[in-house]
Amino acid sequence: MSSLLSSLSKTIHASLALAIILFLGLSYLNDGIAFDTLFWSWLFRYIHVVVAIMWIGLLWYFNFVQIPNMGKIPDEQKPAIGKVIAPAALFYFRWAAAFTVLSGLILALLNGYLHDAMTFSIGSGVPKHTAIGIGMWLGIVMAFNVWFVIWPNQKKALGIVECDSEQKAKAAKTAMLFSRTNTLLSLPMLLTMVAAQNLY
């Protein structure tokens, strides 16, 4: 067991295998698997939730743990964060954001409410679609911030892209402010997503 848990790759593969076994067991209890719209909707909802946990979890890690504590780290130890930990976290952060939006759009399409949600249900007046639409647009704005503001500025701040110290400081502040903007939007976004699934 120690060998399994000592390797992240083995742990993730074992977790995926357990999830598949559990899914097959639950499917057996439900008279098998039908690869219909309901199945694909479930699969993309599962993917959506998994990658969203990765995305928002890392957003909150940056804002609740890394940023507030950077000033407490001795200067000689800061390169470990800037050169190793932050670039790795930002890789998962930005791709989780992209896959969260993509899987959410596919899920909305499969369930037939994509257009209605993206237009806030104007015309049809379905409150559930208005709620999920607000959440979807908040998520899209947040993902845009990740890819087109936070990541380009973090590349400068971390020295991945060459720039002078003044540009580096400005880029770090911009990345932090947009990360905080996403933190500000995260609870309303999650509220509308959960409300759409549970209040209507």
**pLDDT tens digits, 183-198:** 999 999 999 999 999 9
Q: How far is CA 108 from CA 29, 32, 105, 129, in A?
A: 27, 25, 5, 10
pLDDT, mean of residues 94-105? 98
Predicted confidence (pLDDT) per residue in 122-139, tens digit:
888 899 999 999 999 999
pLDDT, mean of residues 46-69? 97
More confident residue, 123 or 44: 44
Residue with tokens 């806030």: 120
- pLDDT, residue 144, reads 98
Q: How far is CA 74 from CA 80, 129, 169, in A?
A: 11, 49, 18
- Work out the pLDDT band at 74, boundaries 50, 70, 90: very high
Q: Mean pLDDT in the chain?
A: 95
pLDDT, mean of residues 27-34? 85
Question: Is residue 67 scored above 90 in pLDDT?
Answer: yes
- pLDDT, residue 150, reads 98
| pTM for the whole structure | 0.92
Q: How far apart are CA 198 and CA 119, in angstroms?
A: 21
Question: Is residue 31 scored above 90 in pLDDT?
Answer: no
- pLDDT, residue 47, reads 98
Q: Which of 30-39, 45-54, 116-125 has the lowest mean pLDDT?
A: 30-39
Written as six digits, the tokens of 27 are 């499917």
- pLDDT, residue 167, reads 96
- pLDDT, residue 34, reads 87
User: Percent of the chain scored above 90 by pLDDT?
Assistant: 86
- pLDDT, residue 51, reads 98
Answer positive or negative: Cα dihedral of 135, 192, 92, 166.
positive
Q: What is residue 7's three-state secondary structure? A: coil
Q: Residue 4 is which amino acid?
A: L
- pLDDT, residue 149, reads 98
